[in-house]
Structure 1
Amino acid sequence: MHLLVFLFLIIGCLCDIEVLIDQKGAYNISINTRLWLRSSHTALYVDNKWYSSADNSLPLINITYAQGYDLNLGSWNETRLIYDLLRNETRTNIVGHIRQWSLVSAITFHLDTGDQIMTNTISLDMKHVRTIFPSFNIEQIDINDQRGYFTFEGIMAGDGDNHAGFWNSSSKVIHSGMQSGPVVLFNLTQRGEDDVLVLSPFSRFMATSLSQKDNILQYGVLGSILTISANYNHSMIVFYSSHGINQCIREWGETMQRVYNRTNQYRLNDLTINYLGYYTDAGGYYYYNTEQEINYEETIVDIHQQILLPLHYIQLDSWWYYQGIKNGVTQWTARPDIFPDGLQVVHRRLENISLAAHNRYWAIDNVYQEKYSFILDEINEKSLPIGNDSFWIDLFTQAHNWGLILYEQDWLIVQTIHFIPTCTDIHLGHQWLMSMGEAAEMIDINIQYCMSLPRHILTALQIPRVTQTRVSTDYSFHLTGKVQQWTIGISSMFVDALGLAPFKDVFWSTSLQPDAPYDPSPMEILPEREILIATLSTGPVGSGDAINYTNVSRVMKCCRQDGLILKPDRPLTMINTLISDWAFYNNVSQVMIKHSM
């Protein structure tokens, strides 16, 4: 065993966060000299067995340190914790890097899993992780420690299961590793102002997670992943700001964008974000519903000709293409019973107005696998293009010819969680999204995500053509009184920080619209609120009224006469004090604040 050459090391920077590492490899993070996070252990699950520093089956054998420079974030210094993994008489160095940055108020944790492939035949579940570094105790440090947290978790960019509470050993901070996202930690006595930490994945977003076991917050590779490639690495960031919750998340997002060289030029120039549109998705009047005694083609043409709004695009939802086994997509082309003349003719009849189009998960009986490479899941009866051929390029080229400018990839959670290959292959999820985005770049179209998990939003840092994402559940649930679908102040904060425009979803401009396809008795109580929230979200603004029930004067309050949306520079978000109350009481309405520059 190598001799440890020092008792402890404090890694510092020109900021108020520091990490102290002792001779046993324990690391503590302090803010202004006050302890905030204490480490737990390092571990790996390989060969169907756990190896852990806690029981010395993964012993620490050396500690070294290094310095370096990153082109995006500047200079850093780090401590390297070197562990010895002994498997079948083969030794592998597992190296945990704890890195602090000179010019960025953050500490990043990087794990190198060594030069050997790590395989399991009995996997863990996707709620947990199979590598653990770093890990932190979820605890109240002392009686004066009054910290709270909230997290982005679940579908619709972390809106579906976001939650808040006290940061102590009884708190369930992470409900599901697969659905988890960044955790925000703050001081309740400061009411969400001043000191804030963001704990977030820093790389490998589709393959790694934050998870929780007992009162330990853990970061690592998804438990369901069967094989970890040789020379694999992943990383997590602990980001600090003294400027309160909203500003901290914005600063964290700016740092993440800088790391991945994300450009916002496509978001800023996206026609579907900047101009008024029309939506036919769940909540819209024409969702699986046409005007009486006419088909969809004539209905869409009538929307364009008879609704007296300066619409710049129309969205076509899932009713227009072929669906097969388990309602998956078999062929992403127009059905003749929907558009008898084909979409190219419809586009001309619409006077070449731009189109946005919905898509979902791929069925196992899709027609494309005859020509392109698809991976099949016989159990869940779904499939996925592998992305090593021209599938996405050909698909988007054909769609661009009938006016597509925005591709909506919906049901992301289903294609990710209910598809065994994306749960078990360490590279497939990333490859899928990247190949889609690269094709969109080539064909000059933008992408909207829907039913996304936080991991999809983080991956979009590397896909600038993803300009927007849904941040709330379907408007149809709001119309039938099931949810307050307009409360987007938390999820908007998350996606905007990473460079995506938050999309509230479609809305009605009048309260009652007879024969709408929803039960029981759909009603919009406050149309003005819907239009206002959509406008101040900075995302798409799309009405979905029946032709004869569109309140033109009400909608036109959101835009100029030419349809340009009059929006702020930043979206509505929940104010810091209310977030603090949300954590303290765990039940509070989302009162929001907008920022203009």
Structure 2
Amino acid sequence: MAAVHLFVAFFVCQVYMGLAIPEKQSSGSVDFRLEASNVGQYSLLLNNVTYLTSERFFVISNGTTYERANLTLNSTERGSHTESKLGRYNYTKYTFIVPHLGNAVEAWIKDFRPKPFKTFELRYVNEMNGTRSSDCPPVPYPPTGTFLRCFNQTTAGFPSFQVQNTSKTLGYLNLGGKMVGDYEKQLGVYDSNTPKMTDGMKSGPLVVFDSDANTILVAPFDNFMSVSMWHDGAPGGTINWGVMGGVDYIPKDYSVKIVAIAATGIKKAFDDYGRFLQLLYETEERRQHSQSQDVSLNYLGYWTDNGAYYYYHTESNATGFNKTYQDTLIDVQKYSEAVNIPYGYLQIDSWWYYKGFQDSVKTWEARPDIFPNGIRYLYKKTGLPLVAHNRYWGHDTTYAEQNNGNFTFVVEPFLSLPDDTNFWPTLFRNSKKWGLTVYEQDWLDIQTLGLVGLQTDLYLGERWMRQMAEAAEELNLTIQLCMSLPRHALMSVSLPAVTQARVSQDYHLEPEQWRIGISSILASALLLAPSKDTFWTTVRQTGNPLYPDVMEPYPELEALVATLSTGPVGPGDKINGTNVDLLMRCCDGNGRLMKPSFPAVAIDRQIVKAAIPSSNGPEGEIWTTLTSIISDRKRDFGILMAANLSSPYTVRFSDTGFPERLNPSLTFPFGSPEKWQQFDDDNPLVLTNCTQENYCLFLFSARETGLNGTDITIFGETSKWVPMSPSRVLKIIHAENNMRVGIRGKPGEEVTMAFLINNFVHRSTCRVGTSGTAVLDVMIGCYPSHTTSSHLTSIRTTSDVTTEIISTTHHSSVAVVSAGGIALYSLCFLLTVLMK
């Protein structure tokens, strides 16, 4: 009965506090049509403009390439059917026969209209031998010499589209190469002059769009490790999808599945692609669970990878000799405690294990010259779990049976690869004993492009990735992918233990390595946290022979980008070289990262401008992201970052990608809520002087109107990069003319938040209670709680509050809150938390 009374009281509070306010949803649709003839020709049209037109259809069999002209079109069938996850579709099926051999392939086109996607499926009705091109030379070692020939082609072409002029100027973005397609990505005009795209084993999703960002995305949705895109005949030419070109045998019923998705924006097309994949693979909840357990995604850490001060370099002692890494990392931890840097883990890079041929990993165990007392000693001494790096496996690895080891490996003259269901559980189980929490699999491009088996075996790549990830999930470990090709990132959609991926070149190797706004779009769509890599928080850190002349001119920008990425925030500073105040903008007193809900990514107009120079858009970087907090209702808080702009640019609401809940909203520059202004399409934001040094960072929040007309706008913790982060804010309740925010942090930590009330800026400071939580009331004070964060039931008044009011207009001050309103408001806040 008590539960019933609680529920009734909660319902009353819902009515009182307006919990049932309907959300205003953004809208936008495209007219996406498919035209398919009876003789195997097809086109994709968007808003009555032909974007993509079929060109060739080919298959390779017995070493011979058969084009449409010398294949037999046995039948064309049309009909409709329903797929359990994707719904009803109309289909056109072409059945082609290879002359003299009788082998059949089916080319399916499925139109799910009015849903904005079409699928293309090439099914091998019979097994097919000799599917590798006849001009394929013998494989040299390392096998990189074949990349521009058959291994980089495809064994068939379906779908196949012309790269040609259209009735409207179109641009394209082609993701390719390492770092989730960032390293060799291309943007340009999509026409007969389009140069060779990054293709083959390095290929990734392709998007084609007009100057208004109306977009078609084309990418695989199955067999990610074995499907490639091949750009033949550039400039112009054709783009073809099929099995990777090194495969020489394809079994019966094997399929290549490609989806074309249309959307009103480039980012939206990627997001819809991600949702399409999640619909098929159903791993979203498990991925989110893994990410919630990943210490490197939730807490500040210390990194030692390329670009870090202690990368292949240790601390010098008083006599000038170098200490061991064991001593150096223990000193890092001591220094961090002395200056109150709350590191939650340590990252150890490729310097710690045994290497063999061509610096490949030989034995993934700690060397005694690195950790004289063993790696477990470091873990116990510092109390910090470890993110541990690994690279490509060498032919001389001690784990392989061929080298008297205990596990099955594919061993070639250059590299090797584990192919044993017992290997990864054994490796990870042993590694957990010395503190492994995140396994960083680096050099994925070299592992894949340097091992012939991964380019010739249909199933080896998927088997390798799945064995690794499933063992990690079973043992509650998580995985970061580094130097991953797009195929690795796409494969991760079915591997929940893979929580993050590097999307940038190594720090210090590329001056503008921070520019991850485009590559983060694909990672974000796949629910992978993009990783920017390590950084320095101060300009000069002398004494490292690897970087004698290197400096970091923009440490603030580096720290900001790392935080907005939602990936790891891991400085690699010299001991005594950290700008602590700058670093702590990313997190709370416990080191818990105060990040947005989604990675910051480039706005569509930035991408359109880079591809179609004649179009409107910024010349430089403009990214946006959101924080979403759900309590009495869903609230969104926007963030916009701009840097490296060559000229001023005017941002309108429609440019941001923000939901309609933020139209209109108020915006202010980082740290200066007094400079707030209205923002919507009639009141745009003019960006000026947004350089790398003087980056621009704006925060956005919507006004809220109480029952008596009082306006309250949450500006949040304006000293942090992300003023309203779900990591900090647990609840928000607004009633009448008051607002209360449930927060968490380090016990004793002071949290200052800014609010705009009837055009006056209020700042309230609240000290977090011993439970690690508190309730900040904008009007009447701070209420630390002595319970858990999910049951804020013990609320008492306290003097641990400071309120500052700054008048920014000539409007009247805030109305007085009635005692009855406060009492009912406080009761409702407690009930809302209890019912969470």
Normalised to the residue count of structure 1, the TM-score between the two structures is 0.92
Residue equivalent to 1:505: 533
Residue equivalent to 1:7: none
Q: What is the correspondence of 1:379-458 to structure 2 with a 5 Å cutoff?
A: 381-387=414-420, 389-458=421-490
Asked whether 1:174 is paired with 2:197, we answer yes
SS of alignment partner, residue 475 of structure 1: coil
Residue equivalent to 1:91: 102
Inter-partner Cα distance in structure 2 for 1:262 and 1:459: 12
Residue equivalent to 1:248: 269
| 96-105 vs 334-343, which moves further | 96-105
Corresponding residue to 1:530 among 551, 554, 558: 558
Residue equivalent to 2:549: 521
Asked whether 1:129 is paired with 2:129, we answer no
Residue equivalent to 1:217: 239
Asked whether 1:374 is paired with 2:393, we answer no
Deviation for aligned residue 1:139: 1.3
Deviation for aligned residue 1:224: 1.5
| 119-128 vs 534-543, which moves further | 119-128
Q: What is the correspondence of 1:533-572 to structure 2 with a 5 Å cutoff?
A: 533-572=561-600
Deviation for aligned residue 1:15: 6.4
Inter-partner Cα distance in structure 1 for 2:51 and 2:539: 49
Deviation for aligned residue 1:248: 2.1
SS of alignment partner, residue 527 of structure 2: coil
User: Residue by residue, what CA displacement relative to the aligned partner does 1:565-586 show, whole Å, maximum 9, x if unpaired?
Assistant: 1111121211111111100239
Q: What is the correspondence of 1:60-209 to structure 2 with a 5 Å cutoff?
A: 60-86=73-99, 89-102=100-113, 104-120=115-131, 122=134, 123=136, 125-142=150-167, 145-172=168-195, 174-188=197-211, 190=212, 192=213, 195-209=214-228
Residue equivalent to 1:4: none
Inter-partner Cα distance in structure 1 for 2:603 and 2:620: 11
Corresponding residue to 2:301 among 271, 277, 285: 277
Equivalent AA in structure 1 for residue 415 of structure 2 = K
Q: Is the 8 A contact 2:186 2:197 kept in 1?
A: no
SS of alignment partner, residue 380 of structure 2: helix
SS of alignment partner, residue 384 of structure 1: strand
Inter-partner Cα distance in structure 1 for 2:326 and 2:493: 37
Corresponding residue to 2:279 among 258, 283, 297: 258
Give the total of aligned pairs: 565
| 256-265 vs 362-371, which moves further | 256-265
Corresponding residue to 2:59 among 44, 68, 86: 44
User: Residue by residue, what CA displacement relative to the aligned partner does 1:349-402 show, whole Å, maximum 9, x if unpaired?
Assistant: 112x11100000111111101210001112xx2100113x30011001011111
Equivalent AA in structure 1 for residue 351 of structure 2 = W
Q: Is the 8 A contact 1:76 1:100 kept in 2?
A: yes
Q: Is the 8 A contact 1:287 1:517 kept in 2?
A: no
How well do the aligned residues superpose, as a CA RMSD in angstroms? 1.7
Deviation for aligned residue 1:588: 4.5
SS of alignment partner, residue 61 of structure 1: strand
Please say which structure displays the higher CA radius of gyration. Answer: 2
Inter-partner Cα distance in structure 1 for 2:109 and 2:259: 10
Q: Is the 8 A contact 1:285 1:517 kept in 2?
A: no
Deviation for aligned residue 1:24: 1.1
Q: Is the 8 A contact 2:171 2:210 kept in 1?
A: yes
Q: What is the correspondence of 1:20-59 to structure 2 with a 5 Å cutoff?
A: 20-53=35-68, 55=69, 57-59=70-72
SS of alignment partner, residue 91 of structure 1: coil
1:120–1:68 distance in 2 versus 1, CA, 3 Å: closer
1:15–1:186 distance in 2 versus 1, CA, 3 Å: closer
- Same amino acid, percent of matched pairs: 35
Residue equivalent to 1:475: 507
User: Residue by residue, what CA displacement relative to the aligned partner does 1:396-421 show, whole Å, maximum 9, x if unpaired?
Assistant: 10111111110000000001001111
Inter-partner Cα distance in structure 2 for 1:463 and 1:75: 28
Gap regions ≥5 residues in structure 1:
1-13
Inter-partner Cα distance in structure 1 for 2:544 and 2:482: 23
Deviation for aligned residue 1:92: 2.0
Deviation for aligned residue 1:282: 0.2
Deviation for aligned residue 1:91: 1.1
Residue equivalent to 1:491: 519
Corresponding residue to 2:396 among 328, 345, 365: 365
Inter-partner Cα distance in structure 2 for 1:166 and 1:364: 44
Q: Is the 8 A contact 2:314 2:323 kept in 1?
A: yes
Equivalent AA in structure 2 for residue 209 of structure 1 = S
| 96-105 vs 281-290, which moves further | 96-105
Gap regions ≥5 residues in structure 2:
1-28, 137-148, 317-321, 629-836
Q: Is the 8 A contact 2:542 2:548 kept in 1?
A: no
User: Residue by residue, what CA displacement relative to the aligned partner does 1:460-486 show, whole Å, maximum 9, x if unpaired?
Assistant: 0111111000000000214xxxx3000
SS of alignment partner, residue 626 of structure 2: coil
| 39-48 vs 355-364, which moves further | 39-48
User: Residue by residue, what CA displacement relative to the aligned partner does 1:198-224 show, whole Å, maximum 9, x if unpaired?
Assistant: 111121111111111121111001112
Corresponding residue to 2:251 among 229, 248, 262: 229
Equivalent AA in structure 2 for residue 37 of structure 1 = L
Inter-partner Cα distance in structure 2 for 1:72 and 1:309: 48
SS of alignment partner, residue 126 of structure 1: helix
Inter-partner Cα distance in structure 2 for 1:80 and 1:570: 40
Inter-partner Cα distance in structure 1 for 2:552 and 2:85: 47
Asked whether 1:591 is paired with 2:622, we answer yes
SS of alignment partner, residue 444 of structure 1: coil
SS of alignment partner, residue 426 of structure 1: coil
Inter-partner Cα distance in structure 2 for 1:173 and 1:77: 34
Equivalent AA in structure 2 for residue 199 of structure 1 = V
User: Residue by residue, what CA displacement relative to the aligned partner does 1:292-342 show, whole Å, maximum 9, x if unpaired?
Assistant: 131111111111121231111100100000000111111000001111111
Inter-partner Cα distance in structure 2 for 1:113 and 1:315: 46
Asked whether 1:348 is paired with 2:383, we answer no
Deviation for aligned residue 1:228: 1.6
SS of alignment partner, residue 182 of structure 1: strand
SS of alignment partner, residue 277 of structure 2: helix
SS of alignment partner, residue 368 of structure 1: coil
Asked whether 1:317 is paired with 2:349, we answer yes
Inter-partner Cα distance in structure 2 for 1:180 and 1:348: 44
1:31–1:173 distance in 2 versus 1, CA, 3 Å: farther
Q: Which has the higher contact order (CA 8 A, sep 6+)?
A: 1
Inter-partner Cα distance in structure 2 for 1:58 and 1:517: 63
Equivalent AA in structure 2 for residue 382 of structure 1 = L
Equivalent AA in structure 1 for residue 75 of structure 2 = N
Residue equivalent to 1:291: 315
Q: Is the 8 A contact 1:38 1:137 kept in 2?
A: yes
Q: Is the 8 A contact 1:73 1:103 kept in 2?
A: no
Deviation for aligned residue 1:589: 2.8
Asked whether 1:301 is paired with 2:350, we answer no
Q: Is the 8 A contact 1:74 1:103 kept in 2?
A: no
Inter-partner Cα distance in structure 2 for 1:358 and 1:119: 39
